[in-house]
Structure 1
Amino acid sequence: MALPWALHGDGKTVAPTEIVAPEERLSWPRTIGLGGQHVVAMFGATFLVPIITGFPPSTTLFFSGIGTLLFLIITKNRLPSYLGSSFAFLAPIAAATDVGGIPLALSGIIVVGALLAVIGVVVNLAGTRWIDALLPPVVSGSIVALIGFNLAPAARDNFALSPGIALITLAAVVLSAVLFKGLLGRLSIFVGVVVGYVAAVIAGAVDYSAVAAAPWVGLPTFTAPAFDLGQLPIYLGFLPVVLALIAENVGHVKGVGQLTKRNLDPLTGRALFADGLSTVIAGLGGGSATTTYGENIGVMSATRVFSTAAYWVAGVVAILLGLSPKIGAVIFTIPPGVLGGVTTALYGLIGVIGIRIWVENEVDFSRPKNQLTAGVALIMGIADFTLALGGASFGGIILGTVAAIVVFHVMNGLGRLRGTD
């Protein structure tokens, strides 16, 4: 069977005015090298999620690789993307784990994935206009921002466990983002983890006992989900994450389309469905939920190579890494101080993504409906408001999400009736 990629030019170089299109590739040695770059780009963020949540890192890497290959198949090799761990799930996973452990958290991941897959089917049939109407930029930006800022207490708690290591890690993140250009500059989180980890090793804060006992090759740890219909508030707490995933996937499609100068919008439904299916599969086996990765867009922008062949390489490499329990054990040795430093930056960056949505869409904050939509939602999310109803407790993310949608549409509707919109 013929491979689906045509060789670009001589397979060795890319002219300054050209790009390597998704359906093209460079020579296989160069393609494998580019795939390795994508693995490095996704690795820092992808392994942080299981470290923070307590999920097995090897399992997460394994399912991120499978999810990436599924994504490429479903989008017909036309939309280059790596599906790494999603940070949008961190807060609801923490809430679910406190109540019913990892199995309950996995069931919440599956619910979100299934809903995203259904939305993908709807978008594929009906287009994205209804999403734009329900979630205008001020609403979607507010939801994404509050998901990130809601995690601030978790970063604070880890930071307090080892302030010195945390400060070194945070400083490394900030300095690498400023001092380095190209790939290293885009991987500031990863650089911060490496520098913080080295500092922790020097300080004697790393325990390698589990690494020595772990085999080099073996199946990842699979965990079955546990559904509990009595935990409705937990499942409702997961639902706002769907909105963040929609924003991430739509943004990815538009970003790649802009860089390749192609209209990739018709693939939006397929992208949402693929991400949803990948998340469901990960949840069924004990892996972290997935999403498209901006870090890998940075690699494509820098190299001008958008070949999906490189992502096939990256997906296969991730699967192979997931089949090494020793690698997972090494990842689990990262101490809390390093996590405290890196999550202080990371959670803030997640929140800023929401603000970036406002900026890029020129949201007018001189208008009261936009001011109150963002203001009310952010306060509820950051302060983690809770509401108890009939024995059920709803947290800041779900309340802030509902507030953003309701406040905007009520004020917008009333404004139109009065003729003041």
Structure 2
Amino acid sequence: MEKESLRAEKLALPQKVILGIQHMFAMFGATVLVPKLTGLNPSVALFTSAVGTIIFHFITKGKVPAYLGSSFAFIAPIIAAKESFGIPGAMLGCLTAGLIYIIMSAVIKAVGSDFLEKFLPPVVVGPVIMTIGLGLAPTAKDMATAHLPTAIFTLAVAIVISIFGKGLIKVIPILIGVVSGYIFAYLAGIVDLAPVQEAAWLALPNFSLPSISEFSASLPAVLIIAPIAVVTMVEHLGDVLALSKTVDREFIEEPGLHRTLLGDGIATAFAALLGGPPNTTYGENIGVLAITKVHNPVVIEIAAVFVFGMSFVQKLGALIRTIPAAVMGGIVILLFGMIASIGLRTLIENEVDLSNNRNLVIVSTVLVIGISNLAFTIPGLGTDLKGMGLAAIVGIGLNILLPESAEAESDTEANEVQAEEAVQKA
């Protein structure tokens, strides 16, 4: 029954295709931004993102509607490793990070994921999910302020379609918003079509293999990049929890956290073998799921097929890359806000009592650490643990260290003191 509700939604193929294109637009900007910042090839990133998503869906038995795009967490270490050891050395580090995911997947499969219920109750999960969206708010601001009128127009169109649209129109507000925003931006004179004219029609992505034959020389690159896997595994867990709340399915239990980690790990290792950045489940696409209420994984798979083709069709890829940052800025304001709202819903639906000081301390601390992007440098590695990763670890630690009975004991003591005072006065 669960499988039917996820996969057999009553959508005709043309509708699924349109929804898939919408997901493609949602992931595109961030996926090509990572290779631009790290000096990797954008076409390779698109190729490995698409294939990685298909790998993830195969391993998770087609039950998790997640799209895997380029991970931002690896940007700084990839740049550092590439400067000293070149792209092959950096890719060896990324390959090792993927292998760490695979090993952790085997461990979780062996010991189970029941321990997560103790470490990750709603009082921790809710604010962690909120930091996914709110932590990305500065990114949305930077994109939107590139040309604020375009961003505002794009956001307004997406909101109007989402609220007042009917039928198929109602479930593609992102796609309509992007197209409308692009037209607005073109009329405003901020679209440069020169890259489309210069691009070839068809071309193979410029793949780059990691330097496995020179492992000893590239070992320091592994030490720079691989430890980030510890952080991104926490982020992976947060994204899976956000997906679970969005779709109202317990993906930690079925298909299981071990499968989602394995899918993410193999996708990342595959990307590294071809010179692409590590993959991660994308918050942008979680936002699309929250808005459209269409959770069919096939739609995500269709998006992956389009992205796969785009990695070879250079003109089409170049056309998508001409979408101004302000257009996507208007869209992600809505998408990132939706993710934060899912975290808030988690707290409300689980009736987390914020009049309880223990709960209030955990939620407050997680939110501020996650949103402020406070960083902690891991001794000996020079790697920063920050954002949602650090917030999740702090939240888990506080949940373990702060006794649940502390607030009740405090209230009891206060009541006893008040009773004694009343007796003395009497």
Q: Could you tell me the TM-score, scaled by structure 2's length?
A: 0.73
**CA shift at 1:217, angstroms?**
1.6
Identity of aligned residues (%): 27
**CA shift at 1:409, angstroms?**
1.4
Match of 2:363 among 374, 388, 398: 374
Match of 1:289 among 259, 262, 279: 279
Q: 1:221 to 1:109 in 2, by over 3 A?
A: same
Unpaired stretches in structure 2, ≥5 consecutive residues: 212-217, 413-426
Match of 2:24 among 37, 43, 47: 43
Q: 1:151 to 1:74 in 2, by over 3 A?
A: closer
The structure carrying a bigger helix percent of its residues is 2
**CA shift at 1:354, angstroms?**
3.0
**CA shift at 1:93, angstroms?**
4.2
Q: Output the CA distance in 2 between the equivalents of 1:72 and 1:386.
A: 33
The answer on 1:280 being equivalent to 2:269 is: yes
Q: Is the 8 A contact 2:124 2:399 kept in 1?
A: yes
Moved more, 345-354 or 290-299: 290-299
Q: Secondary structure at the match of 1:161?
A: coil
Output the amino acid matched with 1:205. Answer: I
Q: Output the CA distance in 2 between the equivalents of 1:415 and 1:233.
A: 41
Q: 1:159 to 1:134 in 2, by over 3 A?
A: same
Q: 1:38 to 1:207 in 2, by over 3 A?
A: same
Match of 1:162 among 147, 159, 183: 147
Q: Output the CA distance in 2 between the equivalents of 1:325 and 1:95.
A: 27
Match of 2:111 among 115, 126, 133: 126
Aligned length: 393
Q: Is the 8 A contact 1:58 1:323 kept in 2?
A: yes
Output the amino acid matched with 2:281. Answer: T
Match of 1:351 among 336, 340, 361: 340
Q: 1:370 to 1:254 in 2, by over 3 A?
A: closer
**CA shift at 1:365, angstroms?**
1.9
1:1-51 CA deviation, whole Å, 9 max, x = no partner? xxxxxxxxxxxxxxxx9995789899xxx8754652452242122212124
Aligned 1:322-361 pairs, distance under 5 A: 322-361=311-350
Q: Is the 8 A contact 2:20 2:301 kept in 1?
A: no
Q: Output the CA distance in 1 between the equivalents of 2:44 and 2:121.
A: 36
Q: Is the 8 A contact 1:106 1:225 kept in 2?
A: yes
Unpaired stretches in structure 1, ≥5 consecutive residues: 1-16
Match of 1:212 among 197, 218, 222: 197
1:180-233 CA deviation, whole Å, 9 max, x = no partner? 245544443333322222111111111122211212222224356797747978
State the structure with more CA Rg. Answer: 2
Q: Is the 8 A contact 2:377 2:385 kept in 1?
A: no
**CA shift at 1:257, angstroms?**
8.0
Aligned 1:18-417 pairs, distance under 5 A: 32-33=13-14, 36-55=17-36, 57-76=42-61, 79=63, 81=65, 83-85=67-69, 89-90=71-72, 92-96=73-77, 99=80, 110=95, 113-181=98-166, 183-222=168-207, 229=220, 239-249=230-240, 252=243, 265-285=254-274, 286-287=276-277, 289-291=279-281, 294=286, 315-387=304-376, 392=382, 394=384, 396-397=386-387, 398-412=389-403, 415=406
Q: 1:266 to 1:393 in 2, by over 3 A?
A: closer
Q: 1:412 to 1:258 in 2, by over 3 A?
A: same
Q: Secondary structure at the match of 1:239?
A: helix
Q: Output the CA distance in 2 between the equivalents of 1:291 and 1:233.
A: 22
Q: Could you tell me the TM-score, scaled by structure 1's length?
A: 0.74
Output the amino acid matched with 2:102. Answer: A
Q: Secondary structure at the match of 1:216?
A: coil
1:322-342 CA deviation, whole Å, 9 max, x = no partner? 221222211221223223333
Q: 1:370 to 1:233 in 2, by over 3 A?
A: farther
